[in-house]
């Protein structure tokens, strides 16, 4: 085995293509620059860091658009460690969008609470680069690397209000459970690496496309099952599926609201990106059930169906009894992970490349719609919570509907979109996901998802009821809405309607071409 | 112009809503401006909707004013609108009732006018959309979109238990319609399109759901239920009716009028348009059970209405009873029954709408709706009492008023139906409902309008003003017109009803909007 | 190999046995073989050479942790230079010809390290506070004065 390893290294030629990781490079560089500017700037010039972060994110977005439309080069580099397909680009776009909106939301917050803006923005940029790596990695090692870059930055961001006990608790919980899940993932990766060694003498592999090729000639198939299960648990933690969801409400409640907005939309989407890639492409569908590949495919798919059902149900039922808006949104984010899993199941269950491609793009589209409406909702919640995140209970929203109608109606729109009412982005997302699942033949799963949607009506409406139908007994002054948040609200409101009414272009862009073929070596 | 007429019709109220919001930023704004703007736009909408009648020469035997453009390529959803005999009168009823209910809110809505009128206009747009959409996804979109403004109307401007009523209304209807959504997507999975006409065409050419599932009717059965469940809740058919009394009672007057007049019709319209034509064989199998439910609803609604102490709640329960008639006629699958069913939808919109308006007027004066609080109103408010009596009689189904025609046709159709055995028993039972409706309405009139003036407060009430008379007059004219000369209404809907009927009775051949009428069952009622 | 076979896990089990066995053996061995002189000092709990007296909750300045963490970070990162230096000659040689690439990569790495270092310095991680600095300066001045005085005294003597 040592000999073959040596031979492999002998054959290595530097497969370097920096252009293929251009967006990631831009974001990383921007992060370092922001850090340096923060170190040298005077306290009064700190607003610069936010601006620089935005510039970097927009430049990365431009780069990824260029890769989307005008890329003619190879679709993979670094020996398959980085791949380029619509799945990656879609999730890269989501990561950049989420990050840019978070910068805008947090600008005022950082100033108002007198927090170190530069640190926050550079951490955010590093987290973003981690998310992008998770989307672009074609190799388990890169995915793990991205995950860690993302996670460590997010742990710090969750505890960013150092003097607030809840923020500390949130950070510590997130850190401990996050490292726990990372360990699961890493162990799973190690087991898969060991299991994919072949009888012909090849060492194991962490390349996803290669794993798929080796499944049937694997030396230790049982380890493969164990490794896949470990990775399932690890990713399950990251995207907050039940029963690995217990950290979510506490962490989301305690973290500063802009950070919660980021955590609910960004890392979840990035988790889905690599979760999808590892399982749909690494342990793919085959027609013959009798093979190892067939068994492992059936095993993870079955587990995922159960996870989807539990996740949706626990998320929705848990959200009903919450009295804190942030906790409610945390449970709602669990539920939304469940809906997205429905599309994931569809992507895994079908062998038809067109259906698979549709299902993959449906999950990406769903995460995009969720990111837009979620960030919008949290932007409003940030404003209403005021400094110190004190006012986040349902009671604090009593009767504010007609005292600041702009904010209240916008928040209602996001709630209705999260609920999945027609004309909004949430509806389109659900339609896409459900259609994919029905195409794959999962009728009962869709019916359960639909019933869950009906349950969710209760708690989304509750916020609207509290805002509009109740009278306020205590005094309330409308918060000043700063310009940057107005920009966020305009972007998200237009996004909700655009994705809900004219999703054509986005859906086309997210569709994998050629259908659902990951760049293979 | 022809092609865009329906889109214009949908967008006019939206434009009005935008005008309202725009006006709220104007420096010279006044709260009273809002209602004028809203009234203006809703009257314009009504005027535009009258243009639909220019296609009367086609008898609406096929879809008119069709617009069919691609909407979402990825799922081949289309923006497909069209109007035929089933929907024509419902669209007109919508555009008529909205200005009337806006006039009725003239003084009764005295807080948050901007939002109130904006929601009314959004609601109008959604309701028109429901009746004219021919793509299932668009239909669902409007169906759900009508929910939100109504939810706000009840929740913000409603009575004391408004929150409970609003939530109940929303959850009930949303659960039903979400199941319909699942059904719509399943249809899409089979036909790869949401377009109603395309799906119907495929079904007619033999590719029915049961054929595609190799002769198994199970899936078709569940699909039927998924659609029917949504519509049953909306109608509402007994035992899915419990949201209705709360919602109707708590809603502001305008909301009740719209709710009873139009929103309930979305359910019966949906049953006729989608359930009967898409799943004809299941419809035939299910018809007896649905007829039983409808009859229970008729009698139950009437009996419960009788004992209500609250006038508005009484009218609400009478709706349960009347909508039972509509369903009964529809599932008799006879031309009379179905024509009567469609006609009764309009009747109910007009008469019950008028009753709710009248109840709203007295509530505005006395701030109570308890029957025991009233008595002898005919002395203090003669004009009001006249209108009240006429509207009630119309609701009872007195000959020469509209209710009679509808109920008569439905009973005739039920008597003749071959879909159930012992049809005469069903007819007799339904007839009991008519008698009971006379009992509860006349008894209510006796206690409210006639008799001695017991209560001091009732003596000093002012009679209706010109605005109130003005908004009741159109409905009154319609009651009389539809009662003595129903022919124009029935003529324009006959062709469409006949296609639905032949589709549901002769699964393979019927259901096309191009095929000539097949073997009418006897002479049609108006010859 | 489609069937689940428990024997396939034998390597894992063996690894467990070896690991557990190693730990247990070592502990047992020291217990059995080791010499024992039970003096007073030896029976005291081990506390890094300090007397185990007083409150266990002694407070250290957070600066110590900071320095320790920064040290570990830079230490570990600098270690990467060693394997790089080992393979550099091979990779830069004619067989591979990756000289520029490998060199640039390490330079980028070093620049990033430097950026981190500058950031740490600028953020004042090594700055032990105004007061500490003043005290240290005062102490230094006093020492200087003392030395001068001694010098003067010696000269006088």
pLDDT at B109 (0 to 100): 79
Q: Chains meeting B at 3+ CB pairs closer than 8 A?
A: A
Exposed, middle or buried by CB within 10 Å (0-12, 13-18, 19+), for C44?
exposed
CB–CB contact C115 A32 (8 Å): yes
Q: If you count them, how many residues does chain A have?
A: 521
A350 lies in which domain range?
A: 17-510
User: Does residue A168 fall inside a structural domain?
Assistant: yes
Instruction: Please list the alpha-helical segments (H only) found in B251-372.
Output: 253-258, 264-270, 276-278, 280-306, 311-330, 335-366
Return the structure tokens found at B328. Answer: 């009964």
Residue B78: strand pairing partners: B70
Identify the band that residue A13 occupies on the pLDDT scale cut at 50, 70 and 90.
low
Inter-chain CB pairs, A–C, below 8 Å: 32
> A486-514 pLDDT, tens per residue?
999 999 999 999 998 888 888 888 887 76
User: Does residue A272 fall inside a structural domain?
Assistant: yes
CA gap A76, A458 in Å, rounded: 46
CB–CB contact C2 A292 (8 Å): yes
pLDDT at A410 (0 to 100): 92
pLDDT at B464 (0 to 100): 82
CB–CB contact B171 A458 (8 Å): yes
Inter-chain CB pairs, A–B, below 8 Å: 90
Q: How far is CA A197 from CA A26, A219, B307, B467, in A?
A: 37, 6, 81, 87
User: Does residue A214 fall inside a structural domain?
Assistant: yes
Exposed, middle or buried by CB within 10 Å (0-12, 13-18, 19+), for B448?
buried
Chain A touched by C139 (CB under 8 Å): no
Return the structure tokens found at B446. Answer: 């006796």
CB–CB contact B75 A431 (8 Å): yes
CA gap A287, A300 in Å, rounded: 16
Q: In sequence order, what are the residues at sequence separation of 6 or more whose Cβ sits closer than 8 angstroms to the Cβ of residue A361?
A: A86, A90, A432, A507, A510, A511, A512
Nearest to C4 among A16, A222, A290 (CB): A222
Q: What is the mean pLDDT of chain B?
A: 85
Chain A touched by C122 (CB under 8 Å): yes
Asked if residue A288 has pLDDT above 50, the reply is: yes
pLDDT at A514 (0 to 100): 63
In contact, A99 and A124? CB cutoff 8 Å: yes
Do B and A make contact, counting contact as 3+ CB pairs within 8 angstroms? yes
CA gap A155, A269 in Å, rounded: 17
Half-sphere exposure of A15 (CA within 13 A, CB side): 15
Identify the band that residue A4 occupies on the pLDDT scale cut at 50, 70 and 90.
very low
> A188-203 pLDDT, tens per residue?
999 999 888 877 777 8
CA gap A392, A164 in Å, rounded: 15
Identify the band that residue A5 occupies on the pLDDT scale cut at 50, 70 and 90.
very low
Chain A touched by C29 (CB under 8 Å): no
Q: Which residue did the predictor score with more confidence, B518 or C51?
A: C51
Chain A touched by C115 (CB under 8 Å): yes
Eight-class DSSP state of A472: P
Asked if residue A2 has pLDDT above 90, the reply is: no
Please name the residue that has the structure tokens 């369903």: B327
Per-residue pLDDT of chain B (527 residues; tens, 9 = 90+): 678 888 888 999 999 999 888 888 888 877 788 888 888 999 999 998 888 888 777 777 788 888 888 888 878 888 888 888 888 889 999 999 999 998 888 888 778 888 889 999 999 999 999 999 989 989 998 998 888 899 988 888 887 888 888 888 888 888 888 888 888 888 888 888 888 888 888 888 877 777 777 777 888 888 899 899 999 998 888 888 888 888 888 888 888 999 888 999 999 999 988 888 888 888 888 888 999 999 999 999 999 988 888 888 898 999 899 999 999 988 888 888 889 999 999 999 999 999 999 988 888 888 888 888 887 788 888 888 888 898 998 888 888 888 888 888 898 888 888 888 888 888 888 888 888 988 888 888 888 888 788 777 777 778 888 888 888 898 899 888 888 888 888 888 888 888 888 888 875 544 444 333 433 444 344 43
Please name the residue that has the structure tokens 């329960």: B317
User: Does residue A134 fall inside a structural domain?
Assistant: yes
ipTM, 2 dp: 0.85
Identify the band that residue A154 occupies on the pLDDT scale cut at 50, 70 and 90.
very high
Return the structure tokens found at B367. Answer: 């701030």
* Residue (of B201, B151, B39, B44) closest to B104 by Cα position: B39
pLDDT at C53 (0 to 100): 67
Asked if residue A10 has pLDDT above 60, the reply is: no
B 175-204 residues with CB below 8 A of A? 175, 178-179, 181-182, 185-186, 188-189
CB–CB contact A221 C119 (8 Å): no
Q: How far is CA A472 from CA A321, A400, A476, B152, B156, in A?
A: 22, 7, 8, 17, 13
Greatest Cα pair distance in chain C: 98
CB–CB contact C1 A36 (8 Å): no
Q: How many CB atoms lie within 10 A of CB C19?
A: 10
Nearest to A468 among B74, B143, B155 (CB): B155
User: Does residue A271 fall inside a structural domain?
Assistant: yes
3-class secondary-structure state, position C4 = coil
* Residue (of B176, B197, B319, B196) closest to B246 by Cα position: B319
Q: Quick one: closest CA in A to B155, which residue?
A: A469
pLDDT at A26 (0 to 100): 94
> C63-120 pLDDT, tens per residue?
788 888 889 988 888 888 888 888 888 888 777 777 888 888 889 999 998 998 898 8
Rounded mean pLDDT, A392-400: 84
Domain total of chain A? 1
Half-sphere exposure of A39 (CA within 13 A, CB side): 19
Asked if residue A311 has pLDDT above 90, the reply is: yes
- pTM of the full structure: 0.86
3-class secondary-structure state, position B239 = coil
Phi first, then psi: what are they for B348, rounded to 5°? -65, -40
CA gap B458, B374 in Å, rounded: 7
Find the chain A residues whose C-beta atoms sit closer than 8 A to any C-beta of B.
358, 401-402, 405, 416, 421-423, 427-428, 431-432, 434-435, 438-439, 443, 446-447, 450-451, 453-454, 457-458, 461, 464-465, 468-470, 502-504, 507-508, 511
Q: Which residue did the predictor score with more confidence, B343 or A16?
A: B343
Nearest to A461 among B167, B179, B189 (CB): B167
> B220-273 pLDDT, tens per residue?
888 899 899 999 998 888 888 888 888 888 888 888 999 888 999 999 999 988
Identify the band that residue C18 occupies on the pLDDT scale cut at 50, 70 and 90.
very high
Q: If you count them, how many residues does chain B have?
A: 527
Q: What are the chain A neighbours of C118 within 8 Å (beta carbons)?
A: 36, 39
Chain centroid to CA A206: 23
The structural domains of chain B, with segments of one domain joined by +, span: 288-489
Asked if residue C50 has pLDDT above 70, the reply is: no
């Amino acid at each position: 085995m040592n000999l073959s390893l040596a031979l492999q290294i002998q054959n290595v030629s530097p497969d370097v293509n920096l252009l293929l990781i251009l967006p990631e490079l831009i974001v990383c560089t921007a992060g370092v620059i922001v850090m340096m500017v923060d170190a040298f700037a005077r306290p009064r010039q700190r607003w610069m860091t936010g601006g620089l972060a935005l510039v970097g994110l927009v430049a990365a977005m431009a780069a990824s658009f260029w890769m989307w439309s005008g890329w003619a080069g190879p679709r993979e580099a670094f020996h398959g460690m980085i791949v380029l397909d619509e799945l990656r680009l879609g999730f890269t776009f989501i990561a950049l969008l989420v990050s840019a909106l978070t910068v805008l939301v947090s600008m005022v917050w950082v100033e108002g609470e007198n927090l170190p803006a530069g640190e926050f923005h550079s951490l955010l940029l590093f987290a973003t680069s981690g998310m992008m790596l998770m989307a672009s990695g074609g190799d388990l090692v890169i995915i793990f690397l991205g995950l860690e870059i993302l996670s460590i930055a997010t742990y710090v961001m969750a505890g960013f209000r150092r003097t607030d006990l809840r923020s500390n608790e949130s950070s510590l919980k997130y850190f401990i459970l996050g490292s726990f899940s990372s360990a699961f993932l890493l162990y799973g990766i190690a087991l898969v690496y060991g299991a994919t060694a072949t009888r012909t003498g090849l060492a194991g592999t962490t390349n996803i496309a290669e794993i798929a090729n080796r499944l049937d000639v694997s030396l230790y198939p049982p380890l493969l099952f164990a490794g896949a299960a470990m990775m399932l648990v690890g990713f399950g933690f990251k995207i907050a599926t039940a029963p690995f969801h217990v950290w979510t409400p506490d962490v989301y409640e305690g973290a500063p609201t802009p950070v919660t907005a980021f955590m609910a939309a960004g890392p979840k989407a990035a988790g889905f990106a690599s979760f999808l890639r590892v399982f749909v492409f690494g342990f793919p569908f085959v027609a013959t059930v009798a093979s190892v590949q067939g068994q492992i495919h059936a095993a993870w798919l079955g587990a995922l169906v159960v996870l989807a059902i539990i996740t949706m149900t626990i998320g929705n039922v848990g959200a009903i009894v919450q009295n804190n808006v942030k906790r409610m949104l945390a449970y709602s984010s669990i539920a939304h992970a469940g809906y997205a899993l429905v599309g994931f199941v569809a992507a895994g269950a079908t062998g038809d490349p067109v259906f698979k491609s549709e299902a993959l793009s449906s999950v990406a589209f769903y995460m995009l719609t969720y990111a837009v409406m979620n960030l919008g909702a949290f932007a409003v919640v940030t404003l209403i919570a005021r400094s110190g995140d004190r006012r986040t209970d349902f009671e604090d929203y009593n009767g504010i509907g007609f005292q600041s109608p702009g904010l209240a109606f916008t928040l209602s729109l996001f709630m209705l979109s999260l609920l999945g009412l027609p004309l909004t982005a949430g509806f389109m997302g659900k339609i896409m996901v459900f259609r994919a699942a029905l195409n794959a033949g999962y009728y009962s799963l869709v019916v359960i998802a639909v019933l869950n949607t009906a349950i969710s009506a209760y708690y989304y409406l509750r916020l609207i009821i509290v805002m509009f139908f109740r009278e306020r007994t205590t005094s309330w002054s409308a918060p000043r809405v700063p310009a940057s948040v107005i920009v966020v609200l305009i972007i998200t409101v237009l996004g909700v309607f655009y994705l809900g009414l004219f999703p054509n272009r986005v859906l086309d862009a997210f569709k994998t071409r050629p259908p659902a073929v990951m760049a293979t070596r | 112009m022809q092609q865009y007429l329906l889109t214009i019709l949908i967008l006019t109220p939206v434009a009005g809503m935008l005008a309202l919001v725009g006006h709220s930023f104007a420096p010279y704004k006044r709260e009273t401006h809002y209602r004028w703007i809203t009234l203006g736009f809703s009257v314009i909408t009504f005027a535009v909707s009258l243009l639909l009648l220019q296609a009367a020469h086609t008898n609406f035997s096929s879809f008119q004013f069709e617009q069919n453009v691609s909407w979402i390529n990825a799922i081949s959803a289309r923006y497909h609108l069209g109007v035929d005999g089933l929907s024509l009168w419902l669209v007109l009823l919508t555009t008529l009732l909205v200005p009337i209910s806006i006039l009725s809110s003239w003084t009764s809505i005295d807080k948050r006018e901007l939002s109130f009128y904006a929601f009314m206009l959004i609601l109008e747009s959604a309701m028109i959309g429901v009746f004219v959409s021919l793509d299932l996804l668009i239909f669902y979109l409007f169906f759900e979109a009508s929910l939100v403004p109504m939810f706000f109307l009840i929740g913000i401007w409603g009575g004391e238990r408004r929150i409970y009523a609003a939530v109940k209304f929303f959850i009930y209807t949303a659960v039903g319609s979400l199941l319909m959504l699942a059904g719509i997507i399943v249809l899409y999975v089979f036909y790869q399109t949401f377009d109603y006409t395309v799906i119907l065409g495929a079904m007619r050419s033999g590719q029915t759901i049961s054929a595609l599932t190799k002769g198994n009717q199970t899936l078709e059965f569940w699909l039927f239920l998924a659609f029917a469940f949504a519509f049953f809740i909306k109608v509402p058919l007994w035992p899915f009716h419990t949201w209705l009394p709360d919602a109707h009672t708590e809603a502001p007057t305008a909301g009740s009028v719209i709710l009873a007049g139009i929103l309930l019709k979305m359910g019966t319209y949906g049953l006729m348009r989608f359930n009967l034509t898409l799943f004809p064989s299941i419809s035939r199998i299910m018809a007896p059970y649905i007829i039983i439910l409808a009859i229970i609803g008729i009698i139950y609604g009437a009996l419960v209405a009788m004992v209500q102490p609250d006038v508005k709640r009484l009218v609400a329960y009478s709706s349960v009873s009347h909508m039972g008639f509509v369903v009964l006629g529809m599932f008799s699958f006879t031309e009379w029954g179905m024509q009567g069913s469609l006609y009764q939808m309009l009747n109910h919109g007009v008469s019950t709408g008028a009753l709710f308006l009248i109840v709203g007027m007295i509530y505005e004066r006395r701030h109570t709706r308890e029957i025991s609080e009233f008595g002898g109103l005919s002395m203090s408010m003669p004009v009001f009492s006249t209108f009240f009596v006429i509207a009630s009689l119309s609701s009872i189904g007195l000959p020469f008023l509209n209710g009679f025609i509808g109920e008569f046709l439905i009973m005739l159709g039920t008597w003749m139906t071959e879909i159930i055995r012992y049809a005469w028993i069903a007819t007799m039972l339904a007839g009991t409902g008519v008698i009971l409706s006379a009992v509860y309405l006349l008894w209510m009139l006796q206690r409210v309008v006639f008799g001695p003036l017991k209560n001091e407060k009732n003596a000093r009430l002012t009679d209706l003003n010109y605005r109130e008379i003005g908004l009741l007059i159109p409905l009154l004219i319609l009651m009389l017109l539809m009662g003595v000369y129903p022919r124009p209404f029935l003529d324009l809907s006959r062709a469409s009803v006949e296609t639905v009927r032949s589709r549901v009775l002769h699964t393979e051949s019927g259901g096309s909007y191009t095929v000539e009428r097949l073997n009418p069952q006897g002479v049609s009622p108006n010859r | 190999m489609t069937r689940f076979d428990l024997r396939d896990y034998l390597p894992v089990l063996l690894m467990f046995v070896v690991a557990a066995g190693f730990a247990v053996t070592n502990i047992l061995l020291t217990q059995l073989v080791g010499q024992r002189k039970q003096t007073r000092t030896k029976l005291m709990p081990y506390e890094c050479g300090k007397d185990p007296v007083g409150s266990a909750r002694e407070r250290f300045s957070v600066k110590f942790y900071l320095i320790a963490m920064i040290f570990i970070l830079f230490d570990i990162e600098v270690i990467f230079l060693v394997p790089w230096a080992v393979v550099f000659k091979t990779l830069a040689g004619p067989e591979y010809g990756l000289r520029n690439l490998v060199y640039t990569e390490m330079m980028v790495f070093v620049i990033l390290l430097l950026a981190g270092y500058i950031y740490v310095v600028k953020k004042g991680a090594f700055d032990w506070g105004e007061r500490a600095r003043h005290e240290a300066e005062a102490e230094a001045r006093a020492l200087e004065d003392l030395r001068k005085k001694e010098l003067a005294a010696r000269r006088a003597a």
